[in-house]
Structures are given as structure tokens and as C-alpha cells.
Amino acid sequence: MASGNYLIRNITNGKFYVGSAVNFIKRWNRHKFDLRHNIHDNKHLQIAWNKYGESSFIFEILEELPKEIILDCEQTLLDKYVGLEWCYNISKSVFSGMTGRHHSVESIDKIRKSNRGLKRTLEARLHMQKPKSKSHKMALSHAAHKRKATLKTRKAMSLAMQGKNSKINEDIVREIRCRYNDGETQKSIANSIGITNGIVWEVVNNNIWKWVK
């Protein structure tokens, strides 16, 4: 019955779909049912599933989180990854693709409020919430602690973005950053190494492989 954020990763090309679930097992089974019957609401993921086959996709848990804040966390992931070439998600809103998912009025209202005005960090939004009970307060405190991503979580996300067959590793990451700092263009670096411009951009902006100095 674990809840939290997950990704469905294509181990052939490294692309992924991110989401949240109150029950990981049920959510993954629902995804597989829709994909197997060619009725999944995400057309990019469905096309990839049809092309590469079920054996090319795996379900990975990013973080186990309290049910009260999983939508906030999913929204943070969507804000960061939707639009990038290796992300299958289409909409930047957690309200899209809600088939088979049921959320409370409080959860929906919380997401709406969190998206108003300037973007805030997840920790800031959690701090602004008023706990309704002792258990709710404990859940928010636990969530804020969990959002300080561990080294293992950051590595897992980086590997998901790069793909199983990627040429990138810690030495390549250092080379990319050095060459970029020396004035070489991202396109030139990407072409010489044999990776996408998007990966180079993420590396030089320290969005992935943050632990490599």
C-alpha cells in the first residue's frame, strides 16, 4: 500500500513517464492494462509501448511519501521535466490524465493554491500549510524531510534520464563541464560525445550528476 512518486522508464532509450500513486502496485497494474489494450491517455507513452514492447518498460519508485502531499510532489516533477525530449508526460498539470485516480477536495484545493502567483519550492509550500491535526503535522514534517533527495535518489533520476545504453558517466560529466567552461558550444560537445544536446544542457546546468565535482 506504499504511496509516492514513480516513473515508468523505457530501458531501450532512457525516456520516462513520471506520476504519483496512493498504491504503487494498483497504479502500475492500471497503466499496464491501459497500455496493453491501447487505451492509455498518454499518446506518447502508448506509441512507445507499441513500438518497443512491454519488456522495454520498467516501473521504478522514486520516493515513498505520505498520501497528503504526493500531488504536490508530482506537480514539482511535472514542472521540471515536461517538455524535455526524454519525458513522455504531455501536460504540466496533475489534473490531466486522472482516469482511475480519486483525490479529495482538500488535495485539489491545495494544488490550486500552490500554483497561484510565483512558483514556490515544495518546502516553502509545505511550511505555509496549516496542519489540521497532529497526524497531518507529522506527515508534513516527514514529507519535508523526505524531499531532501538522497544521493541514491538523485543517481536513480539521472540514470533514468540518461538511459541504460547511454555513453555518459562521471568522467564524461567532468569532461563536458570542463569543455563548456572553456567556451565550447553544447552542440559541439554533444556531437563529439554522441549524446543529445538536452543531456549536455542538463549537465552544464548541474541539473543531473550534481554529486560529480
Residues 165-184: tens digit of each pLDDT = 356 777 888 888 888 888 88
Number of H helices, E strands in the chain: 10, 3
Helix (H) or strand (E) holding 193: helix 186-193
Residues 57-72: tens digit of each pLDDT = 999 999 999 988 888 8
Residues 122-170: tens digit of each pLDDT = 433 433 344 445 555 555 555 545 444 444 555 555 555 544 335 677 7
The residue count for the chain? 213
Position 165 scores a pLDDT of 39
Residues 95-118: tens digit of each pLDDT = 665 444 444 445 445 445 544 543
Strand partners, 64: 4
Query: Is the model more confident about 116 or about 28?
Result: 28
Domain 4-147 sits in CATH 3.40.1440.10: yes
Place of cell 524535455: 84
Judging by DSSP bridges, how do beta strands 16-21 and 4-10 pair with one another?
A: antiparallel
